[in-house]
């Protein structure tokens, strides 16, 4: 049994859903799991927890800067506790970009921080066109058109492999 903190960075809520799935699996394995937004993470006492997980989505090629700032500020304590990081992006729906060692955003992330999480994962995200503002919707449709993805502006496309999410919860449990 462990006290586990999961910190999420999300814009449209999909990363929270992934975190909640991980949380529910970890809770069935007798862990105590707390979920908080990166926006509320700065005052948290990380020493209270046995393990830390950070999950962040990509928007226009970047993880939220507050995630990188938090990691760099907490570098020392992060190095000394079992920790994991996962990235959520739609590039990861492609077979050759779906792992930590071949996903461009994960590779860039690892160059931006000194932190070396014990476990890394990449999840394909979700495109729910109706949720987006006009400009974002058109931009994503264009990117999807170029990368041979769905462009129907009414469509909801969940690319996440939920079995992979549940497996990652198992990895965190053993970490």
Ligand X SMILES: Cc1cc2nc3c(=O)[nH]c(=O)nc-3n(C[C@H](O)[C@H](O)[C@H](O)COP(=O)(O)O)c2cc1C
Residues that bind ligand X (CB under 6 A): 10-15, 57-61, 88-91, 125-127, 132, 136, 140
- Nearest distance in Å: CB 69, ligand X: 18
CB atoms within 10 A of CB 33: 23
Q: Which residues contact 83 (CB under 8 A, 6 or more apart)?
A: 51, 52, 53, 54, 115, 117, 118, 119
Nearest residue (CB) to ligand X, 32 versus 139 = 139
Nearest residue (CB) to ligand X, 46 versus 62 = 62
Distance between CA atoms of 170 and 175, rounded to whole angstroms?
9
- Nearest distance in Å: CB 116, ligand X: 23
Nearest residue (CB) to ligand X, 47 versus 130 = 130
The two structure tokens encoding residue 119 = 């476990």
The residue nearest ligand X at its CB is: 125
The two structure tokens encoding residue 141 = 């449709």
- Nearest distance in Å: CB 50, ligand X: 25
Nearest residue (CB) to ligand X, 114 versus 142 = 142
Nearest residue (CB) to ligand X, 27 versus 158 = 158
- Nearest distance in Å: CB 9, ligand X: 7
Please report how many Cα atoms fall inside a 13 Å half-sphere around the Cα of residue 143, on the Cβ side.
14
- Nearest distance in Å: CB 49, ligand X: 22
> Residue 70: left if φ>0, alpha if ψ -120 to 50, beta else—which one?
alpha
Q: Which residues contact 126 (CB under 8 A, 6 or more apart)?
A: 12, 14, 90, 156, 157, 158, 159, 160
């Amino acid at each position: 049994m462990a006290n586990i903190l999961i910190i999420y960075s999300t814009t449209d809520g999909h990363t929270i859903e992934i975190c909640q799935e991980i949380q529910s699996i970890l809770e069935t394995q007798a862990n105590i799991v707390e979920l908080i937004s990166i926006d509320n993470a700065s005052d948290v006492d990380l020493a209270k927890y046995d393990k830390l997980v950070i999950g962040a989505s990509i928007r226009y090629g970047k993880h939220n800067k507050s995630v990188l700032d938090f990691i760099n500020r907490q570098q020392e304590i992060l190095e000394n506790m079992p920790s994991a990081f996962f990235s959520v992006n739609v590039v990861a729906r492609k077979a050759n970009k779906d792992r930590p060692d071949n996903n461009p955003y994960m590779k860039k992330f690892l160059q931006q921080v000194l932190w070396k999480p014990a476990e890394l994962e990449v999840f394909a995200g979700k495109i729910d066109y109706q949720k987006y503002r006009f400009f974002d919707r058109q931009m994503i449709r264009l990117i999807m058109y170029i990368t041979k993805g769905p462009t129907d502006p009414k469509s909801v496309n969940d690319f996440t492999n939920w079995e992979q999410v549940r497996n990652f919860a198992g990895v965190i449990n053993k970490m």
